[in-house]
Amino acid sequence: MSRKYAIIGVGHVGAAIAFSLVIQGFADELILIDKNEKKARAEQLDLQDATARLSSRPKIKIQDYSELSDTDILFVTAGNIHALDNASGNRWAEFEYTREIVKDIAPKIKASGFNGVLIDTMNPCDAITQYLQKEIGLPGSQVLGTGTFLDTARMQRVVSEKFNVDPKNVSGFVYGEHGESQFVAWSTVGVNGLPIKTLVPKMNLDLDALEDTARSGGWAVHSGKGYTSFAIATCAIKLSRAVLDDAQLMCPCSSYNVKYDSYVGQPGIIGKNGVEELIDIPLPAKEEEKLAASAATIKEKFATM
C-alpha cells in the first residue's frame, strides 16, 4: 500500500517531519506546501539530493493542494515561531498569527477533497485543531493535535532523570491544554510499574517542582535555539505511524471531549481512523477540576475564532 503524506508549513517543524519521513523510509509520496514557494522548492531539492544515499526513493512534490485528495496523513505545521520570542511562556502569543493562517488554508484543504487523518502541531494547538476540524468538516476522529503528547514526553524525561530510568519506563499522562493550564495527572504516573505517589516519601520528591520543570521544558529549548523541532516532529510522526499501522496506540493527544465541548489533551486510542476512542481514566476530584478549568480556557479562546 502506498503511503502518502503531506505537510503544510515547512519551517523548522515541517522540515524536521519531512526529513524524518524520508530518512526512515516511511513515505512513498510526500507533498510539501508553504507560503514561501522558494522554501518549499529548496526543501524538496535537499531531500531529493539525500535519496541517492538512501534505500528508498519517495516521490516529492510541492505547492499542489489537489494532491491532498488521496493523501493519507496531512501534517499542518505552519506558524510564526518569532511570535513567542517575548511571550514569557505564553503559547497564545501565536494565536493572532495562526488564526489567520488557518482561515486561509482550511478552505483549500476542504476544497481539495482531503479525507485522510489531519495532525496539527500549530499553536495554540487545541483551539487551532478544533477550528480546522470545524472548517474542513471532517469527523472529529480524523482531526487531532499533538497536544499533550509532547508535554507527556517532557514529563517522562523529567521523572526518568530523577529516578535514573529509561523515559519509556515512566507511564502516565499530562492532561489539558498544550499550554500553561496543562497539568500532570500524578494519579496516572508510574515508574517501573509502581505508582509514583508511593515513591514520593522514599525519594523526598517535590511533585510540584517536577511539574514546573516539565511544563517549562519547551521554553528551555526555545530560549536556547529559538524554536523547538525534534521532539514535536517525533510526536507527530509517532501519531501518523499509529494511524497507518492501525496500531491501536494509547497515548494523549488533542481531541474532542464531549463533556467539555472542546478539544483538549487526553488519552485516546489511535488507529486507522484516527482517534478510535477516548479513554476516560477516573481522576481524583482535584485533577478533574484542573481538566475542566483547562478545557474552559481553550473553549474561551476558540470562541474568538
Q: Is 12 annotated as a binding residue?
A: yes
305 contact partners, CB below 8 Å, separation of at least 6: 99, 127, 131
Q: Which sequence positions are flagged as catalytic?
A: 178
Q: Determine if residue 25 is labeled as part of a ligand binding site.
A: no
Quote the Cα angle for 11-13-15, to 5°: 60
10 is in an annotated binding site: yes
246 is in an annotated binding site: no
Give just the sign of the alpha carbon dihedral 255, 260, 266, 267: negative
* Peptide bond between residue 124 and the one before it cis (omega within 30 degrees of 0): yes
Looking at residue 194, its amino acid is L
172 belongs to an annotated ligand binding site: no
Cell of 17: 517531519
Does the annotation list 11 as a binding residue? Answer: yes
**140 is annotated as contributing to ligand binding:** no
Annotated binding site for NAD(+): 9-14, 34
Residues annotated in a binding site: 9-14, 34
